[in-house]
Structure 1
Amino acid sequence: MKIHIAKTQYYHLQIDKEKNRIYFTILARWNGIEDFKKFFDEWKKGVDLLELNFTIHSDLRLMPKLSYEVENLFGEIQIFLVENGLLGLGEIPADNDISNLQVHRLSEKNKMPTNKFKTSKEVEKYLDELICTQVSKKS
């Protein structure tokens, strides 16, 4: 069952404790950094409710080009996620190439374990298999 962490007109952030997973969806184009006042704290709250080796299902299809300030904020969140137990991220990329290049550059720089997919179903399958692989390594 998903727990809502935050929902604005621009994004939706949820977690599923059973799957140990964060769900992040861009809902609309935003105006600027002022639309993200609580964003980092919301991510921290979501991570605090999960265990180590959590996964992220990220739907970025509607993401606009990132301003310098928003790109920096996203980078800080990526570093936080990697340092706090992220196992892997399945991403549905943005519909525009500039946003994809920005996210790709950030993910490489911050060592985000990211794989791209076309559908939510593909993302879920990948993340579920990733968790199974992690569990079998521990056995």
Structure 2
Amino acid sequence: MTVGASNAWPDDDVILYDGVCVFCSRWVRFIAARDVNRRFRFTAVQSAYGTRLAQAFGIDPADPDTNAVVHGGIAYFKSDAALTVLSQLPGWQWARVLRIVPKPLRDAVYSLVARNRYRIFGKYEACFVPDAELRARVIE
């Protein structure tokens, strides 16, 4: 999905994630720790900003089935979102090569993990509270 003039999102390099998902929250911390240029910012789908972003992209905020990233004016979802983010991190540019795996296969694996993420990894009662450094990069 490309963010066009009619549905332009004003911010770039924003990662939308499920803030009560333990796996998703660890993903955010993983990215933040490696994003030495502090390029990416984060928003939980449960926040007011995250809910608006999710709705703009057709993601159900009450039952999100994907993370998303807006990068370079384009919104990426599922495996494309993960690979886009990874390939922007220092030392992780090699992740681009994973795009040779057919998208339907990548997204099937992504969806399998996404559907079972609470059962496998757990769920917080409320959005995880980041430390002060990460909190400065969170959009609420």
Tell me, yes or no, whether TM beats 0.5.
no
Judging by fraction of residues, say which structure has more strand: 1
TM-score norm. by structure 2 comes to 0.28
Q: Which has the higher contact order (CA 8 A, sep 6+)?
A: 2
